[in-house]
Structure 1
Amino acid sequence: MSIPVVDFGALSLSKEDVSDEQMHHLSQQLKTAFTEVGFVFLQNTGITQEEMDRVQDMSKKFFLLPDAQKQSFSRGSFPNNPNHGWVSLESERLNPRRPGDLKEAFNTASLHPDIKWPSDALTGFQEIQTSFFQRCKELSLRVLRVMAHSLGLDPEVFLSTHRLVGTDQNGTTLRSLYYPPVDSEKAKEGQLRCGEHSDYGSITLLFQGSEGLQVRNRAGEFICAPCIPGAVLINIADLMQRWTSDRFVSVLHRVLLPPAGDSQTRQSVAFFLQPDDEALITCCDGSTKYPPVTAGAYLIKRLNDSYGRS
């Protein structure tokens, strides 16, 4: 299995219209990728490598601050959105059966005007994070439109349940990830940089600074995902698999420890698109393969599993 690479230029963020022929071609390519692999690389999306570098550069400046300085922006300290903020090393376990992941994160989960940002130490941090959030939102909605078309559905099936992205009534999160240097010999037994997991919501957009991600194929083997400059790696998440009665597949992925002697850091930025909290997710083919669930309740359960709360 290899992850398909698709030219998304016809629906680039710089384009206003797409022809029926272009939409049909794109929808067939995405349908094949999402039904057979669960992942796809999109090129020519309109989000440039320079934009990706800008958000990663600013994020790294935050991660290199002393922990004491980052502490006041910790996840869980923002009343209007408990998922917003800094996630310290080993505090999250994306595979709850393993020790804490060897990574840090900053979650931009709220754009509320009262949210506190680390702007005193990092001029431009808020502007760069929120601007990139909006760019990812726009691209995600275009991808949803193509996905609905590929299944012969009205685009509103997906779009109408993502009206509140960027508000505190929707759990969509832009997540900057930082994997510091690791001494593999000192890591705990079974510990990874990022444990095996599938994502929770609709789709995920991933911007990688280097290789390291592994994706499980249909044979149950983990394969290395390449890093393609300028491309966006997009995968199906669990609610979308439920929504489409398993036509689109959400697959496990992970980030291993680096080889012994490798002291390199790793960075990535992920945009986790969620349906609105009150959206009721039911099988769009009318079946009862999965019971109905509200997106917000499902997200809370999955986050509690990752952070060790029942």
Structure 2
Amino acid sequence: MSTPENFSSIPIVDITKLRIGTLAEQKAAAEELGKAAREVGFVYVTGGGIDESLFDGVLDATKRFFALPYDEKMKVYIGNSRCHRGYVPEGEEVFASGTKDKKEAYDLSMDLPADDPDFVSGNPLLGPNQWPDLPGFAHAVDDYYRAVFALGRVLLRGFSMAIGEEPTFFDQYVTKPPSQLRLIHYPFDKSAEDRPGIGAHTDYECFTLLRSTSPGLEVMNGAGEWIDAPPLPGAYVVNVGDMMEIWTNGEFTATSHRVRKVSEERYSFPLFFAADYDTVVAPLPRYATGEKPLRASLKAGEHLFAQTMQSFTYLKERRARGEIVLPEGSAPLSSFGQEARQKY
């Protein structure tokens, strides 16, 4: 049997029945999903029902955007945004290792109007996207976002059933979440062998859904070994995040992962499925009994923004100027997952 300590491959779960099956079939698929979450923290999900043309569309839009001149891309620089949306140039993001990743990205989320009350009140993660002046870009990207977010809701039902709750249990925590989609570009780099492209980390949210165009993703097991997780045709890589680890008091594992920098050009599309900003995430009552120590609770949005503040240069600069303050009691980077357990 695989365990978080010794797994050597990523399981594959077909969730077709979770989407369209009877309740009994949904529960059976959910059990498979839960098994993967407990034993590995990563799973390939097939049968998601997303039209492949939507992925083709976002890939084409992404290639066209990153092919623009640097000055054009910087017109939608993420540092211009009040809610963390826009272009992320190479070197902007720094993980706990302290190294700057050789990549560029474009970050977006649920596209809210400028008069949205949360945005008006100063919420740092909710508001309108910055869209480049590029024909068809916003339409293709937003269509893909909506489709993958809808798939995330299906998985949320699966995780609810996997822990013995009603299918709709987690819906109360996901009404207007700052769930972010990243369009990431790793440029061709012939000198890139044996060098990380994204440093080891866990994801801060409930879980992540990922499509990518090339190998490079690696997952750490409990023995500290790195396991390859190459893309499979039509499949999404799904991994447990910090919030789901806390809700289950460690039964579901937020698994450390990184991107091994390969020389070929690579595009990656993670959607980080989050809980609502003000959700207090704490071990659920069913996991708050017995001898196992309780994980510390956190406020979902504050945790997400605190981790973001510690890894983005423009936010570090705002913090240094006293414009923003790290939420009290914020966890340091890489304080979850196997990497943290290896360190501490």
When the two structures are superposed, what TM-score results if normalisation uses the length of structure 1?
0.88
8 Å contact from structure 2 (residues 18, 30) kept in 1: no
Question: What is the CA distance between 1:192 and its match in structure 2?
Answer: 2.6
Question: What is the CA distance between 1:141 and its match in structure 2?
Answer: 0.9
Question: What is the CA distance between 1:25 and its match in structure 2?
Answer: 1.3
Mapped partners of 2:283, 2:132: distance in 1: 43
Cα deviation 1:187-214 (Å, max 9, x = unaligned): 9xx9631111110010100011111111
Mapped partners of 1:24, 1:180: distance in 2: 42
1:33 aligns to 2:36 (yes or no): yes
Give me the identity figure in percent.
Answer: 30
Give the SS at the match of 1:174.
Answer: strand
Question: What is the CA distance between 1:119 and its match in structure 2?
Answer: 4.8
Mapped partners of 1:214, 1:265: distance in 2: 17
Cα deviation 1:31-83 (Å, max 9, x = unaligned): 1100001011111111133321221111111111111101111113122x1x2
Unpaired runs of at least 5, structure 2: 1-7, 115-127, 317-325, 327-344
Question: What is the CA distance between 1:286 and its match in structure 2?
Answer: 5.4
Query: Corresponding residue for 1:225?
Result: 229
Question: What is the CA distance between 1:98 and its match in structure 2?
Answer: 3.1
Amino acid of the structure 2 residue aligned with 1:88 = P
Amino acid of the structure 1 residue aligned with 2:49 = G
Question: What is the CA distance between 1:89 and its match in structure 2?
Answer: 0.5
Amino acid of the structure 1 residue aligned with 2:268 = S
Aligned residues: 290
> Please, which of 290, 293, 303 is the counterpart of residue 308 of structure 2?
303
Give the SS at the match of 1:34.
Answer: helix
Query: Corresponding residue for 2:9?
Result: 2
1:157 aligns to 2:169 (yes or no): yes
> Please, which of 119, 123, 138 is the counterpart of residue 135 of structure 2?
123
When the two structures are superposed, what TM-score results if normalisation uses the length of structure 2?
0.80
Amino acid of the structure 2 residue aligned with 1:197 = H
Query: Corresponding residue for 1:111?
Result: 111
8 Å contact from structure 2 (residues 18, 27) kept in 1: no
Mapped partners of 2:232, 2:51: distance in 1: 12
Query: Corresponding residue for 1:194?
Result: 198
Mapped partners of 1:200, 1:152: distance in 2: 24
Cα deviation 1:94-127 (Å, max 9, x = unaligned): 3x2232111111111240245464453x211111
Report the CA distance shift for 1:300/1:119 in structure 2 as closer, same or farther (over 3 A). closer
Mapped partners of 2:132, 2:190: distance in 1: 32
Query: Corresponding residue for 2:184?
Result: 177
Amino acid of the structure 1 residue aligned with 2:170 = F
Report the CA distance shift for 1:191/1:171 in structure 2 as closer, same or farther (over 3 A). farther
Q: How does 1:1-310 map to 2 (within 5 A)?
A: 1-12=8-19, 15=20, 18-79=21-82, 81=83, 83-94=84-95, 96-114=96-114, 115=128, 117-120=130-133, 122-164=134-176, 170-184=177-191, 192-258=196-262, 262=263, 264-284=264-284, 285=286, 287=288, 289-307=294-312, 309=316
Unpaired runs of at least 5, structure 1: 165-169
Mapped partners of 1:116, 1:162: distance in 2: 20
Mapped partners of 1:118, 1:130: distance in 2: 10
Query: Corresponding residue for 1:167?
Result: none
Give the SS at the match of 2:261.
Answer: coil
Amino acid of the structure 2 residue aligned with 1:301 = A
Amino acid of the structure 2 residue aligned with 1:208 = S
Cα deviation 1:131-158 (Å, max 9, x = unaligned): 1111111111111111111111233431
Q: What is the CA RMSD across the aligned residues, in angstroms?
A: 1.9
8 Å contact from structure 2 (residues 14, 46) kept in 1: yes
Give the SS at the match of 2:173.
Answer: coil
Report the CA distance shift for 1:101/1:277 in structure 2 as closer, same or farther (over 3 A). same
